[in-house]
Structure 1
Amino acid sequence: MTSLPWIGRATDAPYFNDDSGAAWTPIGQNDAITWPELAGLYRRRDLPGVERHLQWLKDSGVTCLRLMLEYCQRDHRYFELAPGRFNLSLVRLWDDLVALCQVIGLRLLLTPFDTFFLWNRWKHHPYNRANGGPCASRRKLLVCPATRQAVKARLAFATERWGGSGVIFAWDLWNEMHPAQAGGDPAGFAQFIDDVAPFLRALETRLHGRAHLQTVSVFGPELGWKPWLNEPIFRHPALDFASSHFYEEGTIDDPRDTVVPAISTGRLVRQALAQITDARPFHESEHGPIHTFKDRHRTLPEAFDDEYFRHMQWAQLASGAVGGGMRWPNRHPHTLTPGMRRAQRALADFLPLVDWPRFRRGNLNEEIGIDPDIAAFGCGDARQAVVWLLRRGPLLPDGRLDAAMPPRPATLRLPGLAPGRYRAALWETQAGRPAGELEANSQGNGILVARLPPFAGDIALAIGPA
């Protein structure tokens, strides 16, 4: 069996590539070992069904799944029965999943805990000192030295068993770091990263001759409420790329239409990129209608959710994030819809139009000139650009764009390209197919002006030298 190439950071751009230098983009979603599509892994109840599902994901353009080694919504899913005593049923589950991903060609972004259930089920958790674990309080999880030793031991076990494979895209060392997990100590985030990241990197280098990429993630709204969180999340020198979770209140977490969440997504990507000072990639690893689903107990209508998903995906990619983000399903059941899979396929088919390993993009959302009834999302450097244009309306009563709107032309004014002639490949994001090409000049003032053919709801462009 041929091993999957490892994934690393591109040398000349804030994106990823594999060992051969070929571009690689994470396209996928959050999943869990107890959710319907992977539940057959447990005690090998239905491995063929899981294999068929993973192959369908691959065929849908999915390249990566984000998973928690421990998703303890139920008592018998603890990864460790006691610190250092690993649950053999789950170890075999992960053996099988990694092997299937190796054969099919999928990768995993792994994090050691789902911290939501770690926090809410703390009374029963094996790391609780009351149960023989290392930690006296869930409010000390990030800063307790004994707990960090247990976390390092968990990660060591995982990389010793599965880390020799390119199936592992990267380690999310801690899912949704929160000040409450450090007793409110602002230094707690950096202390955890300073301890765990070098340990895992050194261990993997010794075991495998190299180390997988590392990040930590954060509940995005916290970055605005507590600005000091930006330093460790976006700029800690031990991390390879930055991650955030887009759950903006009232726009993304409880959407009323499909346009405002996209505009919020573009703004959040721009804010994230402004925090990064060393050109590391930014990857949004969790988003979705969490308030609608968890607090209001509503599953979004499928047609609305498909459009909300597709709009957020393209807003991320065009604004300069790596990929289209990773949805937390927040549906009943916890699965993505067929329409979302088609949207992922459409994004995957667009990616070869851009030379990602040499794309030193900057965000251009606010610099692009466009007709006032259109929201613009874009990023570019002196030789390439990616642009996504979204009509602001008209909206149907349910909040979706009116599919019956007549196509209309638009004039694009794109700054930043070096003087010369450029070709723009147009892309229909819903159908997932080319929508023609046009050529335009970037003048000496650095502005490319292009008259776009009529389009209805949205259109994507990949722009490069003619």
Structure 2
Amino acid sequence: MKRSLLFAMLALLGALTLHLVVAGAQEITPESVFFGEHEVFAPLTLPIDIDPARYSNPFDPADIELRAIFNAPGGDQRVIPGFWMQPHEDVCPPPCTAEDLRPVGPPMWQVRFAPDAVGTWTYALQVLDDGQVVQAESGQIDVIPSGRPGFIDVSPNQRYFQYDNGRSYFPIGHNLKWSWEGAGGLHAYREWLQALAAAGGNYARLYIDVPWFIGLEWQGEAGDYRESQAEAARMDAILEAAAEHGIALQVVLLWHQAAGTYTDPPLVIPDNLLSPAANIDWSDHAYSVLNGGPLSGPGAFFYSERVRELFQRRLRYIVARWGYSPQIFAWEIVDEIDSTANYAPELMDSWVQSMAEYLREIDQDRHLITSGSRAFSPSAAANPLLDFTQARFYQQLPLEAAVDQVAGVLDPLRRSAQVNPSPSLLTGFSLNPWYAPTAADPDGIHLQTTLWAAALSGSAGSGMSEWGDTYIVPQGLQRHYTALAAFSAGIDWANLNLQPAEAGLYTTNANLYDALRFDGFNRRLFEPSAERATQLIAQDGVRPGVEQVSAYLYGTLYNSQRRQPQRYRVTAPRDTYFEVGISTVSERAMARLFVQVDGQRSAEMIVRPGGGDVALRVPLLAGEHDILLDNTGDDWLEIDYVEVEHLVMPVRVLTLRDSEAGVAAAWLLHRDYTWGNVNAGIVPTPLTFRYRLDRMPSGRYTVEIWQPLTGEVIGEALHRVGADGVLRVELPPLADQLALRIMRMAEVPALPAATSEPVSPTATAQPVIIPVAPPPATMSPTPTPPPTRTSTLTLEPLGLPLRTNTPRPTRPAIAN
């Protein structure tokens, strides 16, 4: 709402409203006011006069309390706190480098609210003094439809976000944590929001607990915000600007340095970088005993009952003044809980949970709630009271060598998804956590790849750069948002069941592929294995990871209570093999390795007691497969490694798939297209592949091929998927990136099965036993040494569908 309209409404309401003040009264008969028509989700402000003689601290609800009770047309009731404010206005005549906010008019009391349903609402304003209602007003509002989308909530699929009107909200943006006088203050922040929206962005992350921009308790007495009303006025103005430009704000309520001690960064910060003086910590805060507060040290922040009371008072004021706004996407309780003093996960997880409970109560469940940590914390991510989890990824340049940016981004997102099914967002990333990476990557190559990697990983939005104000804006890097915004606009994130899937890329040149081998199992005999889960064998490793998976497969006679088969899923881009190495077998009895592929017995191998140093290799056709490893022998065997040949491609592929709706989205990145190579002038060699995606419903599809660097649709074609459920798309030469947007068309009569791509002959693709001692393995995709050819026994396939062989039952071979 424009400021002029807001003040006009306040004046109108002040003229219409009759206030009843009855000292010591037990029963108050409120005056009824008809407010008139009001648009759904539009801000509504109800002023009320309260005698200043009734209170000494207007922010302490134990001293004086204003609340509003709103009754929705459907019968739901919302209890919303009111607040005291001192209006401010900007008196700086243009052109101004920064705002000059000065008090204007007398202080006032208000209730702010945005009705979220069409129909007739009633409300009652109550003023409580010493727990007694001493003043009351009531009224009625006729709420009419509007084009406003409403508040943002988690979507029905529990993986993404949506507005109240059902429209998907897919966050794209960056951190705009604060502004400061040297950067242009509030004026600059408004310009940043405008530029973000113009590029297609719709998200920003804002701190309201810093002393140089917005912070309620960095000056004055703890729990008294009269000296911070200019800062609060900045937040009012930012919400108005965010509404004007369609930006949703993730609002950080507690900055970690307010509960910690500042330490200098471990390197010299370039002196030509603009930033506020951030060497502030708890000793500068109103809670510090140095400033008359209750804390003698930062470590007591999360223990002190007095601080808990003060912080909840601050939350109440924040919700009362700004909780009306649908532009607030989420409340973030604390930015980096693990960066506070004396971090104790169990205690601080409990503190976050209690603050989330209180916040949800006073906010009446209008906004999402989250909390952050610098490093991934399984216990923090698993907090059931948080609506979504956050991931962060910071490289350590120049102190440490650069690592794979995309792999680093995907890791915390995937770990969050493993412990909490709620949506997850990458809300902070950078090439280093100390200053903007302008010199290292002036064109924002790592920014652009991170945007798309996060978006196509199964995260609920793009990645959010740490340096919106000092890197993205000065370098004009918002241009990278436009392509992703256009691409994502055509996807119904909120209502589809998009899940990460592995797609294959086929080419006739087998030399372009590498094997993937992993061996990092838990090798403690008789120790329980992790909960049974299907391990996804992907190009970048195995997920969720085998570190807690026992290397031992127990048999059916001895230790049978520990028996737990292993399950894997792999998408082979071409015909290949799946190999299991066995290092040792129990001295007491034989073991029998049993391999099942797609529910069919594929191969098995008997290993005598005390045997080992053998491997069983099972052929796999191109496509997606479920594999089960079991031991149907008498006692245990120890898995040495698992390997899949021809799996790792020179192009990284991230795919999201809804197998029921027939919708998919994919992003392909040439592994040589990195920010380091681009800045060094290295041009990747173009590659040509055929994209293959399994488990799609039969029918006709439209496939759009996008260029993510420009947002251009460079190709569009109709494709058919037959009864085999395989979609195949010929791709143009790839030297940097491509993206695919795949949509199934209306139902058509059954189509013949699509033909398979040409492959090399497979007449000899049969399970084999290989008596070798495999080399040490790593998770890195490296070429696999050829197996030793001595004493190799060839097995007849057991139920595995090969192209040129007819499977028939055989007795299992025995390996010494």
The residue that corresponds to 2:691 in the other structure is 412
The residue that corresponds to 1:56 in the other structure is 195
**1:190 correspondence with 2:349:** yes
Distance 1:369 1:255, change over 3 A: farther
Matched residue of 1:243: which SS? strand
C-alpha distance in structure 2 between counterparts of 1:401 and 1:384, whole Å: 38
Deviation at 1:163, TM superposition (A): 0.8
Task: Give the partner amino acid of 2:356.
Answer: A
Matched residue of 2:728: which SS? strand
Deviation at 1:433, TM superposition (A): 2.1
Maintained 8 Å contact 2:696/2:721: yes
Task: Give the partner amino acid of 2:412.
Answer: L
2:379 to 228, 231, 236: 231
Deviation at 1:57, TM superposition (A): 1.7
2:655 to 364, 378, 400: 378
Task: Give the partner amino acid of 2:452.
Answer: W
The residue that corresponds to 2:234 in the other structure is 93
Maintained 8 Å contact 2:294/2:307: yes
Deviation at 1:268, TM superposition (A): 3.1
Q: Deviations over 1:210-253 (max 9, x none)?
A: 4200011111xx33xxxxx31332x22211111121225579x9
**1:262 correspondence with 2:410:** no
Distance 1:356 1:192, change over 3 A: same
C-alpha distance in structure 1 between counterparts of 2:460 and 2:445, whole Å: 20
Maintained 8 Å contact 1:329/1:335: yes
C-alpha distance in structure 1 between counterparts of 2:312 and 2:292, whole Å: 18
The residue that corresponds to 1:67 in the other structure is 206
The residue that corresponds to 2:252 in the other structure is 111
The residue that corresponds to 1:134 in the other structure is 294
Distance 1:454 1:77, change over 3 A: same
**1:26 correspondence with 2:164:** no
Matched residue of 2:352: which SS? helix
The residue that corresponds to 1:344 in the other structure is 481
2:393 to 246, 271, 278: 246
Distance 1:388 1:394, change over 3 A: closer
Matched residue of 1:408: which SS? coil
The residue that corresponds to 2:423 in the other structure is 281
Structure 1 unpaired stretches of 5+:
42-46, 224-228
Task: Give the partner amino acid of 1:61.
Answer: G
Distance 1:36 1:400, change over 3 A: farther
Deviation at 1:175, TM superposition (A): 0.8
Matched residue of 2:171: which SS? coil
C-alpha distance in structure 2 between counterparts of 1:290 and 1:394, whole Å: 20
Task: Give the partner amino acid of 1:23.
Answer: S
The residue that corresponds to 1:216 in the other structure is 371
Structure of greater Rg: 2
Maintained 8 Å contact 1:16/1:24: yes
C-alpha distance in structure 1 between counterparts of 2:158 and 2:727, whole Å: 22
- Count of matched residue positions in the alignment of Structure 1 and Structure 2: 437
| More displaced 10-residue stretch of structure 1: 449-458 or 279-288 | 449-458
Distance 1:118 1:191, change over 3 A: closer
Task: Give the partner amino acid of 2:407.
Answer: I
The residue that corresponds to 2:467 in the other structure is 329
C-alpha distance in structure 1 between counterparts of 2:214 and 2:485, whole Å: 38
Matched residue of 1:357: which SS? coil
C-alpha distance in structure 1 between counterparts of 2:246 and 2:418, whole Å: 34
1:178 to 319, 335, 338: 338
C-alpha distance in structure 1 between counterparts of 2:658 and 2:358, whole Å: 36
The residue that corresponds to 2:619 in the other structure is none
Q: Deviations over 1:4-61 (max 9, x none)?
A: 52111111241111111001122111113335797432xxxxx4x5444422221111
Matched residue of 1:178: which SS? helix
Tell me: higher relative CO, structure 1 or 2? Use CA pairs within 8 A at least 6 residues apart.
1
1:161 to 315, 321, 324: 321
C-alpha distance in structure 2 between counterparts of 1:255 and 1:354, whole Å: 37
| More displaced 10-residue stretch of structure 1: 443-452 or 117-126 | 443-452
Maintained 8 Å contact 1:36/1:334: no
C-alpha distance in structure 2 between counterparts of 1:358 and 1:238, whole Å: 23
| More displaced 10-residue stretch of structure 1: 454-463 or 400-409 | 400-409
The two structures have a TM-score, normalised by structure 1, of 0.84
C-alpha distance in structure 2 between counterparts of 1:76 and 1:110, whole Å: 12
C-alpha distance in structure 1 between counterparts of 2:335 and 2:351, whole Å: 12
Maintained 8 Å contact 2:655/2:664: yes
Structure 2 unpaired stretches of 5+:
2-38, 43-147, 263-280, 503-537, 539-569, 574-647, 746-816
Distance 1:254 1:317, change over 3 A: farther
Task: Give the partner amino acid of 2:357.
Answer: P
**1:354 correspondence with 2:491:** yes
| RMSD of aligned Cα (Å) | 3.1
Q: Which has the higher helix share?
A: 1
Q: Which has the higher strand share?
A: 2
C-alpha distance in structure 2 between counterparts of 1:247 and 1:434, whole Å: 32
C-alpha distance in structure 1 between counterparts of 2:401 and 2:451, whole Å: 15
The residue that corresponds to 1:226 in the other structure is none
Task: Give the partner amino acid of 2:366.
Answer: A
Distance 1:462 1:271, change over 3 A: farther
The residue that corresponds to 1:387 in the other structure is 666
Maintained 8 Å contact 1:403/1:457: no
Distance 1:439 1:336, change over 3 A: same
C-alpha distance in structure 2 between counterparts of 1:298 and 1:102, whole Å: 30
Distance 1:75 1:254, change over 3 A: farther
The two structures have a TM-score, normalised by structure 2, of 0.49
Distance 1:343 1:368, change over 3 A: farther
Deviation at 1:465, TM superposition (A): 1.1
What percent identity do the matched residue pairs reach? 22
Q: Deviations over 1:285-313 (max 9, x none)?
A: 1111225x44xx96434545x11100011
C-alpha distance in structure 1 between counterparts of 2:315 and 2:195, whole Å: 29
Task: Give the partner amino acid of 2:656.
Answer: C
